[in-house]
Structure 1
């Protein structure tokens, strides 16, 4: 993978909960059981540092605005936080390779992590599987033989449920034969956190994410909500008030084709999901979170 051969980035190493640290430095990053940082000054080597994967506490969280770092990616290792970001000069930095690198970090953390699954049938027990990543945004749960059990990108609804002595994520997802359900139990807390962070970064927030992230308030706080236009907001609010999606064009005095185009945009943003043919849609938990955030920001400004 290109990222494993090295990626050029700006780097800042912060310490303590206050995230106080030094200035940005140039560095070459590579993966080798962790993240190896080779600092560069005036084009020459200027020392190096190493951050082990085994020490990662959290990653992909929002960094303080005073760092002035667009597209920054932060990883917390105990009492140190590594913040990396691409620079502006396309002759030196590659945003594509930077994204490859951040994805490779997640892949190294998630690949092979244990997971249990159950289809909900009486008389059957939990199957044992593991997580696998086959591409950007393509996180799978596979069975003991490597056969896919669940693609997280196929999920349309999700909740947290208790099954016996296990806390599990309950998923409804699309399959070639229709909609099916599966319970997923991730025994390690860190795995659950890393999966949520992965979905937030590489699946556009995943419309169902707020329903399974209550265990991690910091994830809920950091969920990146897609921007919506005034027109999209009007349609969302109408749907959330209970208006039938087939009657909405008449209620809002809009052409059906125009409303369907708005539905398509909101589906792509993870704010609506299809629940039937002929554009039968309903808002996702992410839509509710988006509108609540807008209301909260309006209250603060008021």
Structure 2
């Protein structure tokens, strides 16, 4: 491993929760060093050292996907390696997770269809090879045709995995709904190995808010969201909801800061982002 380089070396806790396909009883978190390279993850404690080869990692799940009741430790992710599962809680976790995803899929080649859907309309777009690039808050795909596709994690409105025919064979496909520059809603479809799809699914889902209760919305915020979702022009919002223009502007600012709206022009025209449409739909459903 002459080209191996260290990406992170920090303290933390870790525990094996599944061994050879069976849940481990009497879980005990171990404290120690957590060392990440571009090839391996090494867990070092007083009981010894455990080395995980990254190419053997099948899935990663962030701390919102793992059952919180399993541990009092906050801020951790799970790794599945064959029939074993580990929970790892580095400190701090955010930067470590970014470097982990980089080590797992950055530079990998996948198949991309973009846009597969645009504005709700299925597009006649073919599959193309693309190289993956992972950043702190987005994943990019450099497509062989020269196209560059950016998916901001905070702007992901929906994520699903299905099986479809891809270049003549049935493969797992990751479908990501997000918003591109200009405010248009699109779907980007990604296929590759089952490992690629699983890890990318976890990454793009990390910042997704699927429930309106996950975000602090005031009654005024909800009124404005519902109006926008119903198709009311941003310029007509004050009259529609019976609010002063300045108050509506304040709501726009708050929703934009929460990643629900994107600003189209300085004249304060706004558009719901993919996340905003999901949240607004749930707000209306709760009425």
Give the structure-1-normalised TM-score. 0.67
- For residues 73 and 171 of structure 1, do their structure 2 counterparts lie closer, same or farther at Cα, with a shift above 3 Å needed? closer
TM-aligned CA distance change 1:285 to 1:153, over 3 Å: closer
Structure 1 residue matching 2:132: 3-state secondary structure = strand
Larger deviation, residues 68-77 vs 165-174: 165-174
Structure 1 residue runs of 5 or longer lacking an equivalent are 40-44, 87-93, 208-219
**Structure 1 counterpart of 2:248:** 259
Q: Describe the SS at the equivalent of 2:195.
A: helix
* Deviations 1:40-78 (CA, angstroms, capped at 9, x unpaired): xxxxx3311122223323213422222223222222223
Partners of 1:10 and 1:84 within 8 A in 2: yes
The offset of 1:17, in angstroms, is 6.9
The aligned residue for residue 74 of structure 2 is 70
Structure 2 residue runs without a partner (length 5+): 116-122
Seen in structure 2, the aligned counterparts of structure 1 residues 129 and 82 have a Cα distance that, compared at 3 Å, is same
Describe the shift of the 1:228–1:165 C-alpha distance in structure 2 as closer, same or farther (beyond 3 A): farther
Which one of 261, 268, 278 corresponds to residue 272 of structure 1? 261
How much has 1:136 moved relative to structure 2?
A: 1.1
* SS at 1:136 equivalent: coil
Q: CA deviation at 1:181?
A: 7.8
Confirm or deny: 8 A CA contact 1:114 1:128 kept in the other structure: yes
Higher relative contact order (CA 8 A, sep 6+): 2
Contact 1:116–1:127 (CA under 8 A) maintained in structure 2: yes
Aligned-partner Cα distance in 2 for 1:259–1:19: 53
Identify if the C-alpha distance between structure 1 residues 4 and 199 changes in structure 2 by more than 3 Å, giving closer, same or farther.
Answer: same
1:56-95 counterparts in 2 under 5 A? 56-61=57-62, 62-66=65-69, 67-86=71-90, 94-95=91-92
Structure 1 residues 104-130: Cα deviation after superposition (integer angstroms, max 9, x where no partner): 11111111222335678x999754321
2:120 corresponds in structure 1 to none
The reply to whether residue 101 of structure 1 matches residue 102 of structure 2 is no
2:229 and 2:101 mapped to 1: Cα distance?
Answer: 35
Partner of 2:224 in structure 1?
235
Q: Which secondary structure does the structure 1 equivalent of 2:102 belong to?
A: helix
Q: State the match for 1:247 in structure 2.
A: 236
Decide whether the 8 Å contact of 2:156 with 2:204 is kept in 1: no
Residue pairs, 1:92-131, within 5 angstroms: 94-95=91-92, 98-117=93-112, 127-131=128-132
Matched pairs, number: 262
* CA distance 1:71–1:21, shift in 2 (3 Å): same
Note the 1:88-237 alignment, pairs <5 A: 94-95=91-92, 98-117=93-112, 127-133=128-134, 135-143=135-143, 149-153=148-152, 173-174=180-181, 184-201=189-206, 204-205=207-208, 225-237=214-226
Contact 1:156 1:173 in 2 (8 A): no
Judged with a 3 Å threshold, the aligned counterparts in structure 2 of structure 1 residues 118 and 25 are, in CA distance, closer, same or farther, namely closer
Going from structure 1 to structure 2, the CA distance change for 1:74 and 1:144 (only over 3 Å counts) comes to: same
Distance in 2 of aligned mates of 1:49 and 1:168 = 31
- 2:30 matched residue in structure 1: 25
CA distance in 1, matches of 2:258, 2:24: 32
TM-score (norm 2): 0.70
Computed over aligned residues only, the root mean square deviation of the Cα atoms, in angstroms, reads: 4.4
Structure-2 change in CA distance of 1:180 and 1:18 (3 Å): closer
Deviations 1:216-265 (A, max 9, x none): xxxx79x9943433432232223223433221122333222332232233
Structure with the larger helix share: 1
Contact 2:14/2:29 (<8 A) preserved: yes
